[in-house]
A and B are shown apart, each in its own frame.
Chain A
Amino acid sequence: MKVMAQMSMVMNLDKCIGCHTCSVTCKQAWTNRSGVEYVWFNNVETRPGVGYPRTYEDQGKWRGGWTLNKRGRLKLRDGGRLHKLSRIFSNPKLPGIQDYYEPWTYDYDMLLNSPAGEHTPVATPKSLLTGKDMKISWSANWDDNLGGSLETMDQDPLLAKMSEEVKAEYEKAFMFYLPRICEHCLNPSCVASCPSGAMYKRAEDGIVLVDQDACRGWRMCVSGCPYKKVYFNHRTGKAEKCTLCYPRIEVGLPTVCAETCVGRLRYLGLVLYDADAVAAAASVADEHQLLDAQRSVLLDPNDPAVIEAARAEGIEEDWIAAAQASPIWRLIRDYEVALPLHPEYRTMPMVWYIPPLSPVVDVVTNTGNDGEDANNLFAAIDKLRIPVGYLAELFTAGDPAPVELSLRKLAAMRSYMRGVSLHDEHDESIANAVGMSGAQIQEMYRLLAIAKYEERYVIPAAHAEQAHDLEEMGCSLDFEDGPGMGGAGPFGSSSGASVPVAVENFHSLKNRQTADRPSSPGRVNLLNWDGNGKPDGLFPPEEKK
């Protein structure tokens, strides 16, 4: 047993309102540069729908992830090392930018500078690739809220797997949102596909990153990832991907997408797993067994043997404690309500989802019945083949049982808690019907519905004794005139010692949240200014009357 720690996320889809705030804040933080205009580390898809990039789930076409060879061993679906190198000069499975969408801007200048005339000036869309006029015909969420999806819905690879009658009825049945980030997989096929070895999984927290200095632009990772969550920066010629906001995670802050999520539906925490067991679990022959196999790779952080083994691997006590308090572990293993996205890709994804119950509730309510009654809901889950079948294609390689169980637990929680709050009645039979106790239901309710900040995010900071080794920090003696390496560079000194970005952000955030005065007098960081107060130097001094 080799214990490793993994920072993971769970998203509670019931609460996602499809507002795209997460996408926008992530973009502002990470991909608001040229070359990645088309890139959304976090995107929110309306399902059913074609996804972003279009039809990425059709692995027959894109050939991402792993599959089993004849001897039952794992192999990259798009071929092994030699095969990859033989196709390196032109990668036949690389999505073109049109499969994402052609990025554009508007000719805003027209609005301001066009001469007075009869007609209102129009800002025409200009392609960011060619600078020419373009017709906008697709984007990252073109079929948002099923808009226009009568035309495109039949391209949804999951619907294609379901039967005809289901497809025909689908649009009437339901719709939900699926926010997606990189899965920070335990068995990442992007890493396995990278010829330069520039992509790696961080040993400490499992975050999958691209070394920008070592990437050589072979663009094999892009096609290797079945979720298409590695992107090619077409200006720098390097691959980029979701970083799980590691500079924030390292100082104990949640990711940007989680922190800004309007529905407060994202959970972040550690899980411990057995790295030696990953390959075997990913090679289980029966796709329906992959979910259980992955669950069994995760280790119980309260088991003394696991704790011992974790210590032996040098995992610190506070990290073990964080793993014990982890909301992820509870949602995946204690309550078994969270499910992985497409386990059949065999990458062992580590962003899991609680499937949405609300569409089921809506159907029941629309028929005039009580949508919060346990029996009505249980019956509906059994009867509503379509949503369950579709969710099963997403989360369990098509096996409806785990999805049903998860939905039944959510339904039980709903009616049990209604009983508690309306009649102060604790109907244990509801809890027992899904194999839980009333107390457990209440705990789960606390985590899912009350969802306190400290319970949603249990993120241990990276270690202080390691801090000098962290990405953005130099040796503390290394600053100007320090006893470390003295002197400035050949181009003279900059103004003052350099402050690592993550630390600066952390302190200014903290100051801003706890102080009522501007945190850095004299120097105003407009990006951090939240519109409250009047930081010194931002406005001209008021004249005394």
Chain B
Amino acid sequence: MSTGSLLLWVVLPYACAVVFIVGHIWRYRFDKFGWTTRSSQTYESRLLRWGSPMFHLGILMVIAGHVVGLLIPREWLYAIGIDEHMYHLGATWLGTAAAILTLAGLAILIYRRRTVGPVFVATTPMDKVMYVFLGAALFFGTLATLVYQVFGSGYSYRESISPWIRQMIIFQPHPEMMEQVPIFFQLHVITASLLFALWPFTRLVHVFSAPIPYLFRPYIVYRSRDESRGAGARPVRRGWDPITTPPDNRGRRRR
């Protein structure tokens, strides 16, 4: 086991995971105001109408697929009657559909970002970096599938990448499992790790606010001034000035 392999398959993923977790906690504590989809629909909705649902449906399917393929050991699937053949069919067909939706959606979204004036102006540098890594992770993932699964003889990542991930999760890393993995899968893993490190600092934080509780709450929300000191404003944490207009003496309020 070389140092390079240790760095790539143990240190980097763990570092990214730490940044991902600590980053989210930090951002949630100090920058709730920045925690938003920053929707650009008021500028343009004709392209978004297609691009956004396509991309989102696709990516949610992709995420579901990754959970099934990576995190759930195949013995468990066998136990509920999903054998190798069924899994393969599902992974290939659903996977292809998801990939097409995601990539087409992403293409529309990026095209829109670039060509629609107001959307382009409202695109932050962080958005651009995010799109590079998001695009790269999706690109290598699709490429690997195309090269090895669809046109190649098939590569059984459930015997190498999946156990590697699960071993990482239980803190018993086995970097050697990744060493023989084909290059595009390796690149996919690396770009995805970097994307996770970026995640908390981009608009992607909105994923963790998926409004599922909406389904279970009453329609009208009442809130008392007393409940949360003031008109619902949460106390400001020390060390972080809320975003306000300049002559401001509220930023130093402590609690």
Chain A residues in the interface with B (C-beta under 8 A): 33, 76, 81-82, 84-85, 88-92, 94-97, 127, 129-132, 187-188, 191-192, 194-197, 199-204, 207, 209, 211-219, 232, 234-238, 246, 462, 466, 469-475, 478, 485, 488-491, 493-494, 498-501
Question: Are A130 and B117 in contact, with the CB atoms below 8 A?
Answer: yes
A84–B42 alpha-carbon span in the complex (Å): 18
Q: Which of A33, A127, A131, A209 contacts B231, CB < 8 Å?
A: A209
The 30 listed contacts between A and B (C-beta, < 8 Å) are A76-B219, A89-B57, A90-B49, A94-B45, A96-B41, A97-B118, A127-B118, A199-B221, A200-B221, A200-B222, A201-B221, A202-B231, A213-B35, A217-B37, A217-B39, A219-B39, A219-B41, A234-B122, A235-B122, A237-B36, A237-B37, A462-B225, A469-B229, A471-B233, A473-B230, A485-B254, A489-B252, A494-B249, A498-B250, A498-B252
Chain A residues with Cβ below 8 Å from B254 are 474, 478, 485, 489
Residue B121 CB within 8 A of the other chain: yes
Q: How far is the CA of A276 from the CA of B98 in the complex (A)?
A: 48
* Cβ contact within 8 Å between A216 and B118: no
The distance in angstroms between the C-alpha atoms of A267 and B57, with both chains bound, is 50
Q: How far is the CB of B151 from chain A (nearest CB, A)?
A: 32
Q: Which of A85, A196, A211, A490 contacts B238 (CB 8 A)?
A: A490
- Secondary structure of the B side of the interface? loop
Contact yes or no, B117 A129, CB < 8 A? yes
Which residues on A sit within 8 Å (CB–CB) of B211?
85, 88, 195-197, 216, 218
Contact B49 A472 (CB under 8 A): no
Chain B residues lying within 8 Å of A214, measured Cβ to Cβ, are 32, 232
B52 lies within 8 A of chain A by Cβ: yes
Asked if B255 is at the interface (CB within 8 A of a chain A CB), the reply is yes
B121:A89 contact, CB within 8 angstroms: no
Nearest 7 CB-CB pairs, A to B?
A: A471-B230, A237-B38, A195-B211, A192-B219, A217-B36, A237-B36, A129-B118
Q: Is B214 part of the contact surface with A, judged by Cβ < 8 Å?
A: yes
**A466 is contacted by which of B49, B203, B226 (Cβ under 8 Å)?**
B226
CB of A191 within 8 A of CB of B219, answer yes
Q: Is A209 touching B239 in the complex (CB atoms < 8 A)?
A: no
Confirm or deny: B253 has a beta carbon within 8 angstroms of a beta carbon on chain A.
Answer: yes
Q: How many A-B residue pairs have CB under 8 A?
A: 186
Query: Chain A contacts of B217 at CB under 8 A?
Result: 197
A197 to B209: give the CA distance in the assembly, Å.
11
B245 proximal to A (CB < 8 A): yes
Which B residues are CB-close (under 8 A) to A91?
41
Partner of B121, one of A131, A192, A232, A490: A131
Task: Name the distance in Å between A463's Cβ and chain B's nearest Cβ.
Answer: 10
Known: A213-B33, A217-B206. A469 touches B239 (CB 8 A): no
When distances are taken between beta carbons in the complex, the residues of chain A under 8 Å from B206 are: 216-217
Q: Which residues of B contact A85 (CB under 8 A)?
A: 211, 214-215
Determine the chain A residues whose CB is within 8 A of the CB of B226 once the complex forms: 466, 469
Q: How far is the CB of B192 from chain A (nearest CB, A)?
A: 22
Do residues B249 and A232 form an inter-chain contact, with CB atoms below 8 A? no
Q: Which of A88, A90, A96, A194 has the most CB of B within 10 A?
A: A90
- The DSSP consensus for interface residues of chain A is loop
Selected contact of A89 from candidates B32, B53, B222, CB within 8 Å: B53
| B230-242 contact mask (Cβ, 8 Å, vs A): 1 or 0 | 1111100011000
Is B223 close to A, CB under 8 A?
Answer: yes
CB atoms of B223 and A203 under 8 A apart: yes
Minimum CB distance partner of A99 in chain B = B42
Check B238–A471 contact: CB distance below 8 A. no
Once the chains are docked, how many angstroms separate the CA of A192 from the CA of B42? 21
Chain B residues contacting A127 (CB-CB under 8 Å) are 118
Which B residues form the contact surface with A (CB < 8 A)?
Answer: 32-33, 35-45, 48-49, 52-53, 55-57, 117-118, 121-122, 203, 206, 209, 211, 213-215, 217, 219-226, 229-234, 238-239, 243, 245, 249-255
| Residues on the B chain within 8 Å of A478, using CB | 254-255
Q: Is there contact, CB below 8 Å, between B220 and A211?
A: no
Contact of B118 with A469 in the complex, beta carbons under 8 Å: no
Contacts beyond the supplied A196-B214, A462-B225, A471-B225: 20 A-B pairs with Cβ under 8 Å: A85-B215, A94-B45, A131-B121, A194-B221, A197-B211, A197-B221, A200-B222, A201-B223, A202-B222, A202-B224, A213-B33, A213-B233, A234-B122, A236-B243, A237-B37, A237-B39, A471-B231, A491-B239, A499-B249, A501-B250
* A81 with B214: CB separation less than 8 A: yes
Q: Given contacts A81-B214, A491-B239, is CB(A92)–CB(B42) below 8 Å?
A: no
Q: Residue among B39, B217, B233, B250 with the most chain A CB within 10 A?
A: B39
* Residues of chain A lying within 8 A (CB to CB) of residue B231: 202, 207, 209, 246, 470-471
Question: Which residues of B sit under 8 angstroms from A132, Cβ to Cβ?
Answer: 117
Query: What separation, in Å, do the CA atoms of A491 and B237 have in the docked complex?
Result: 13
B contact residues around A207 at 8 Å (CB): 231
Q: Which of B35, B220, B221 contacts A216 (CB 8 A)?
A: B35
Interchain CB contact (< 8 A) of B36 among A94, A192, A215: A215
**Contact A472 B250, beta carbon cutoff 8 Å:** yes
The answer to whether A234 touches B40 (Cβ under 8 A) is yes
Report yes or no: A192 in contact with B225, Cβ–Cβ below 8 A.
no
Q: A129: which B residues are within 8 A, CB to CB?
A: 43, 117-118, 121
A201 x B36 contact (CB < 8 A): no
